[in-house]
């Protein structure tokens, strides 16, 4: 199964050249993952409603048994250049079902049109919009994959430093937490990762930051931040990923700062394998684990003392 998934991804990457417009890359990326309509009911029985979340385009995703009072703010991946709520509709729908919550997927601004820290500002605006709408902070969680996983962590650092109430939990899938690409896994997993190599990662980081940007800024690379005071975190990552150490090092540093961390490493899995839950049993297993983690976090935060 995993080989078929790799072929699907390589089929998209293989069409891109240096002169391929970013608009075409975004359309190809959305087409790779998207199998659901923009409005109405999806094949996985999700419903979708477009909204403006603090001035940022977003979509509410909900499934039949979702508790309307529980909300997961979802930040998609794509290297801060690609990806959207369209590419991630199936994944968000599956998480809504597993965690029995509504999901607010965010179409934060992308590079190169909007560079760092625009996505961080958009994530903060959407989170504060949820609070202003009267959503109980104890029933809010944040999740993201790849760049969106790093953005989820950056959001936590920004909220903490600004004195804003923190959510109940954070979920980070194949998170990109180090834009300097210093992890040993860029060497140890180079031959096994069919998608991401150090050169590509560094090029993507330069597009997001510009040549003058600091890749060690904690709001760009949360691994270099002070991680104390963060809510419980679930990290999931595939063992074949060159960005494996972006999760393992982040987990180690967060634990050292006193954060409750759950790290799950899935054998033979590639980057954000949860997006291929239609064919990968491991993807479905990981999403079930996300559901358990979030429900336990919400129950703990809302338990009557």
- pLDDT single digits (tens) 24-67: 999 999 999 885 444 333 445 899 999 999 999 999 999 999 99
pLDDT tens column, 237-267 = 999 999 999 999 999 999 999 999 999 999 9
Confidence band, pLDDT 50/70/90 cuts, at residue 289: very high
pLDDT tens column, 166-199 = 999 999 999 999 999 999 999 999 999 988 999 9
Percent of the chain predicted with pLDDT > 90 = 91
Query: How do beta strands 169-173 and 233-238 pair?
Result: parallel
Given this model, what pLDDT does residue 221 score?
98
Given this model, what pLDDT does residue 176 score?
98
Confidence band, pLDDT 50/70/90 cuts, at residue 228: very high
Given this model, what pLDDT does residue 41 score?
37
pLDDT tens column, 196-218 = 999 999 999 999 998 889 999 99
Confidence band, pLDDT 50/70/90 cuts, at residue 131: very high
Please identify which of the residues 84, 87, 146, 247 carries the catalytic annotation: 146
**What is the chain's alpha carbon radius of gyration, rounded to the nearest angstrom?**
18
**Burial of residue 42 (number of CB atoms within 10 Å: 0-12, 13-18, 19+):** buried
For residue 83, is pLDDT > 50? yes
Distance CA 274, CA 285 (A): 9
Please identify which of the residues 96, 174, 271, 289 carries the catalytic annotation: 271
Neighbours of 184 (CB within 10 A): 12
Given this model, what pLDDT does residue 34 score?
83
Q: Which of 110, 64, 113 is nearest to 85 (CA)?
A: 110
Percent of the chain predicted with pLDDT > 70 = 96
Given this model, what pLDDT does residue 304 score?
63
Q: Which two tokens stand for residue 297?
A: 């976090």
Given this model, what pLDDT does residue 13 score?
87
Average pLDDT, the chain: 95
Backbone angles phi, psi at 217, to 5 degrees: -60, 125
Q: Which two tokens stand for residue 111?
A: 């590079």
pLDDT tens column, 63-80 = 999 999 999 999 999 999
Domains of the chain as residue ranges with CATH? 2-302 (3.40.50.1820)
Q: For this structure, is 113 an active site residue?
A: no
Please identify which of the residues 42, 88, 221, 241 carries the catalytic annotation: 241
Distance CA 177, CA 153 (A): 8
Q: For this structure, is 241 an active site residue?
A: yes
Given this model, what pLDDT does residue 37 score?
40
Q: For this structure, is 76 an active site residue?
A: no
* pLDDT: which is higher, 188 or 10: 188
Answer whether 0.75 is exceeded by the pTM: yes
């Amino acid at each position: 199964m995993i080989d078929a998934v790799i072929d699907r991804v390589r089929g998209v990457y293989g069409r891109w050249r240096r002169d391929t417009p970013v608009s075409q890359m975004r359309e190809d990326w959305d087409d790779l993952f998207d199998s659901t309509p923009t409005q109405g009911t999806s094949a996985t029985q999700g419903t979708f409603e477009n909204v403006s979340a603090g001035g940022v385009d977003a979509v509410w995703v909900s499934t039949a048994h979702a508790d309307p009072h529980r909300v997961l703010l979802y930040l998609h991946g794509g290297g801060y250049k690609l990806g959207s709520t369209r590419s991630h509709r199936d994944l968000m729908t599956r998480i809504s079902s597993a965690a029995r919550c509504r999901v607010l997927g965010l179409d934060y601004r992308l590079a190169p049109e909007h560079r760092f820290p625009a996505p961080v500002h958009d994530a903060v605006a959407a989170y504060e919009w949820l609070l202003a709408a009267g959503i109980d902070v104890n029933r809010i969680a944040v999740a993201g994959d790849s760049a969106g996983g790093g953005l989820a962590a950056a959001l936590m650092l920004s909220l903490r430093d600004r004195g804003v109430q923190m959510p109940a939990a954070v979920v980070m899938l194949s998170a990109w937490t180090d834009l300097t690409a210093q992890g040993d896994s860029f060497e140890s997993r180079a031959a096994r990762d069919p998608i991401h190599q150090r050169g590509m990662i560094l090029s993507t980081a330069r597009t997001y930051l510009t040549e003058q940007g600091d890749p060690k800024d904690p709001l760009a690379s949360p691994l270099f931040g002070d991680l104390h005071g963060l809510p419980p975190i679930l990290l999931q990552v595939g063992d074949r990923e060159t960005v494996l150490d972006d999760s393992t090092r982040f987990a180690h540093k967060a634990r050292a700062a006193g954060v409750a961390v759950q790290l799950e490493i899935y054998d033979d899995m590639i980057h954000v394998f949860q997006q291929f839950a239609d064919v990968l049993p491991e993807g479905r297993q990981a999403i079930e684990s996300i559901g358990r983690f979030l429900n336990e976090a919400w129950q703990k935060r809302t338990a009557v003392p």
